[in-house]
Structure 1
Amino acid sequence: MDDQNKNLILATALSFLVILVWFVLFPPEETAPTTAPAAVTQPADAPAAVTAAQAQPEVAPVPEAPRLPIDTPKLSGSVSLLGGRIDDLSLKAYHQTIDPKSDIVRLLTPVGEPHAYYALYGWAPGGALASADVPGAATEWRQVGGDTLAPGKPVTLEWANDKGLTFTRQLAVDDNYMFTVTDSVANSGTEAATLQPYGVVARHGKPADLQSFYVLHEGVVGRTDGKLAEVKYKDVADLPEVAREGAQAEVTEGTADGWLGFTDKYWMTVLIPEQGKPYTAVVKYNAQSDIYQTETRLPVVTVAPGASTEVSSRLFAGAKEWETIRNYQNNDGIAGFIDSIDWGWFFFFTKPIFWLLHHLHGWIGNMGLAIIALTFVLKILVLPLAYKSYVSMARMKELQPEMEALKERAGDDKAKLQKEMMQLYKEKKVNPAAGCLPIFLQIPIFFSLYKVIFVTLELRQAPFFGWLNDLSAPDPSSLFNLFGLLPWAAPAHGTFLAMIFIGVLPILLGISMWLQQKLNPAPTDPAQAMIFAWMPWVFMFMLGSFASGLVLYWITNNTITFIQQYLIMRSHGHKPDIFGNIKAGFSKKQPEPAKGKK
């Protein structure tokens, strides 16, 4: 086996390994169906000042309460006056499917509905105050200002106890997905009141559409003093029991910046305490009621008679739009907020790749064309290294006659052959390993682009042309119905038939890899020849279930690589006999063994 074919085998094996990793090492986890817990009126939302008994959820029917509507350019829903909960929220710009008539995405749901998911704010009592003396989950607030929560139109709620404490809450929302919650308390009584403000995001059970892919993080996401934390639901459920919390919990003290909440693939709900001030971050799971919780607790305050105090915090509840989140980070001082998007291990690649893709899409207006343009840009950036690699491969071709002569002289003396080959490489200044360089470059780029296409919202339901109406999903066409010519539907994605009866893009991918191989004659070794003959078609079927945007990238990359390699080989005096190699590939005659071999 000559060194060039060794390099080709190694490069192909590396490519195969990259794809195989997703199917063997990191298969999707099977998600057990979750049963929605019974409705609760008092979730485990109490801060440290509340006893363990009070922190446990109380299972009971939820009484009806008045609601205030929410209406913004991007959000619709309502606020329940029971607890002042933000618990009914839908995203106007996003539909469940590519059908524009399908339901819009619902992010938050009230207690009493399946998979309840909501945000709640309150005050924990201290000193002589009891839990009934402060507003909590079961408090029914009184509306005193505003009728619809909208940008520039805040609403005001009020509640008073019989000890002279009057609590006021103002809710405001911007044009995107950020709520501002301003809580104040005035003390007209005769004794000082010790209180601790807090915010809670509670989730009853795991999400119904939890995907549980290794490459995707869903669960708790947060940042505390510059450190990012991502905790999957199964790991939250494995937290140690903390007696003081009355549940399984993890408590972290923050001093400078931070935020905490839950993230889905495309959406998230995150508590954001006032930046630059201390707070306590809590991740909690109550196994009895199957409630996952995140909390931010602000410092304890003491309100003297005749005095008042006010605290303000924010709540992000919406879509993980890169530009929107970046503006909150850069313009509103939420440090590290862009990292709420799951950039993965190769974040140093995924971030700039997405930045470039985002701007290309803005200039071109079509995400598929933007992916093609991105491929051209990436190929230009790595062209100097790729050029050296292709030149090395061309020089290896030029050395073939001398290599054959060396093999004939060395006979069966492999040590002598190896020594003379290395001397020949040194004299001709050829690096036999350089042919693998493009593959090594492709591995991190492939992983990064896979991540970008899989997790970023901007690729969700992004159309290309014709039948390709969602670049984040596999090619919907299928051999099963001759790409729509036969009067029956294609197999559903994820089924065995869908893996066998692939679509147009995977077939084009296989052809592009096959043509790229034909720049060189097939190896003389029958085993090598068989591996190379099957490899494009194995890749074709393996990548058939990948996002069509990624397959589009790979087809474009193969096409550019084919042209580059062809032109470089021509410039070094070697004219690839593509049609001759194709013809030889269909020949039933076995290739003649090289001289010197038995």
Structure 2
Amino acid sequence: MDFLYDLCGKPFGWIMRLIYDLVDNYALAILLFTIITKLILFPISYKQQLNTARMQRLNPKLEKLRQKYKSEPQKLQEAQMQLYQEENINPGASCLPMFLQFFILFGILDVVYKPLSYILKVKDSVISSAFEIVQKIDPDLAKQGTSLRRELTVLTAHHDHASDFLDTFGDSLSAQVSEFYDKFNLFGLNLGSIPTWHPDSWTPTAIGLFMIPILSGVLQLILTIYMQIVQKKRNPGMKGMGCMNVMLYIMPVFSVWFAFQVPAGVGFYWVCSSFFSLLQTVGLNLYFTPKRTEALCEKQNKKMQKKYANGKKSFMQKMMGAQELSEGQQKRARYEEDTKDMSRNELSKYNQQVLKDARKRMAEKYGESYDESETDSKEEKK
């Protein structure tokens, strides 16, 4: 897990250091960091929103397929994939922004936990020596110093016992650490502190820390309710809102729970991220009107047709090809297992039935009529 934090944290630590040097305040640096990452990810978010709008456009066709194959899940899946291929839509495209969001979250978590390393560029050997001092002067605080929280405990202990760290830090670094501690806050709230449900006393600081997780949950709730309203408005006859209903409750609860587990700095980033995500989602939904979406879909389809005109396969074509290959191998294995002990006459009848079933499936696939009695009559004449 530490490797994952380091992998995500180093690039974001470099960005945070640049921003902090410009604004000289950690909370403001987190706010600007959130805006910058949202701008960097905006092209991906735009494509995700467009893909969502295109999926909404297909809902009437998808609903017809669900009704047609409601008792045949395998055929329903094949028909849906065929429709996605025809419309050049990748239904899994919306997963990428979520993955990137969690990648950034791991990064910002590591940056908040390690301000001495990323912001002040203190060497790890110096931090280790400083943590040994914490173990001597405040054992209870040192017990909180896990591999992630080690630097935050040093920062707190130095604020309370600065003179004990002079031999390790020196005058210059000690002054920098003290100055940074004063700027490592949001309206007086230490961003290294972890909010709690039951503080020893409900001081203004405890209330302020408590409100960060609550605010993150409220923003997520507003976002999911808004998305649900948009879905129902654009697809009034759409059924099966189960996924959206789950998200309506899961994401706000997760946001509150998560923000109570991590330092307030990470919770503050989550609040900022949720707020800008709400603004971005509202803006993109206003932009993707039905008329504009239809025009963009036509443009996208022409672009994709041109792109794959030379025989190059799209993602959905590759998926369908892989599925057909897998099904073919499974059918071959079943055929060999079913026919290994058959006589020649039994095998002939079995092959005729397999051929009938294949013709029936093809007729259903292309909407043609299929009369099994006519096929039987032709086979008898032969």
Identity among equivalent positions (%) equals: 25
Matches within 5 A, 1:460-479: 460=155, 461=181, 462-468=183-189, 470-475=190-195
Letter in 2 for 1:568: L
Unaligned segments of structure 1, at least 5 residues: 1-213, 216-343, 492-500, 576-598
In 2, distance between residues paired with 1:564 and 1:553? 16
TM, length-normalised to structure 2: 0.51
Residues 540 and 346 (structure 1 numbering): CA distance in 2 closer, same or farther, change over 3 Å?
closer
Partner of 1:292: none
Amino acid in structure 2 at the alignment position of 1:464 = N
**Deviations 1:515-557, CA, capped at 9 Å, x for gaps:** 2212332884668735642441243023213111111111111
- Matched with 2:100 is 441
Bigger share in helix: 2
User: Which residue number in structure 2 is paired with residue 584 of structure 1?
Assistant: none
Select 2:279's aligned residue among 563, 566, 581: 563
Identify the residue that residue 428 of structure 1 maps to in structure 2: 87
Displacement after TM superposition at 1:445 (Å) = 1.6
Partner Cα separation in structure 2 for residue 570 and residue 520 of structure 1: 12
Aligned match of 1:503: 210
Aligned mates of 1:571, 1:528 — CA distance in 2:
22
2:109 to 441, 450, 457: 450
In structure 2, the partner of 1:546 is: 262
Write the distance in 1 (CA, Å) between the matches of 2:256 and 2:72.
Answer: 41
CA apart distance, 1:434:
0.9
For residues 265 and 7 of structure 2, the distance between their equivalents in structure 1, rounded to whole angstroms, comes to 21
Residue of structure 1 equivalent to 2:60: 401
Q: Is the 8 A contact 1:346 1:444 kept in 2?
A: no
1:513 counterpart residue number: 220
Contact 1:391 1:569 in 2 (8 A): no
Q: Could you tell me how far apart the structure 2 residues matched to 1:531 and 1:551 are?
A: 20
Please list the CA deviations of residues 544-579 of structure 1 after superposition, one character each: whole Å capped at 9, or x if unmatched. Answer: 13111111111111222222222222222269xxxx
Measured after TM superposition, the shift of residue 444 of structure 1 is: 2.1
- CA shift at 1:482, angstroms? 9.6
Secondary structure in 2 matching 1:519? helix
Larger strand percent? 1
Tell me the alpha carbon deviations over residues 424-469 of structure 1, each in whole angstroms, 9 at most, x when there is no partner. Answer: 212222211011111111222211211111122248544333241x
Q: Contact 2:212 / 2:259 at 8 angstroms: preserved in 1?
A: no
Give the aligned CA root-mean-square deviation in angstroms. Answer: 3.2
CA contact (8 A) 1:510 1:537 kept: yes
Tell me if structure 1 keeps the 8 A contact 2:8–2:107.
yes
- Distance in 2 separating the partners of 1:444 and 1:530: 23
Q: Are 1:502 and 1:541, in contact at CA under 8 Å, matched by a contact in 2?
A: no
Alpha-carbon offset, residue 372 of structure 1: 0.8
Match of 2:15 among 334, 345, 356: 356
Give a deviation string over 1:175-195, Cα, whole Å, max 9, x none.
Answer: xxxxxxxxxxxxxxxxxxxxx
Write the deviation string for residues 240-296 of structure 1: whole angstroms up to 9, x where unpaired: xxxxxxxxxxxxxxxxxxxxxxxxxxxxxxxxxxxxxxxxxxxxxxxxxxxxxxxxx
* Conserved 8 A contact 1:349-1:444: yes
The amino acid that maps onto 1:437 is L
Q: Does 1:370 align with 2:29?
A: yes
1:217-296 matched pairs, under 5 angstroms: none
Task: Provide the rounded CA distance (Å) in 2 between the counterparts of 1:569 and 1:438.
Answer: 17
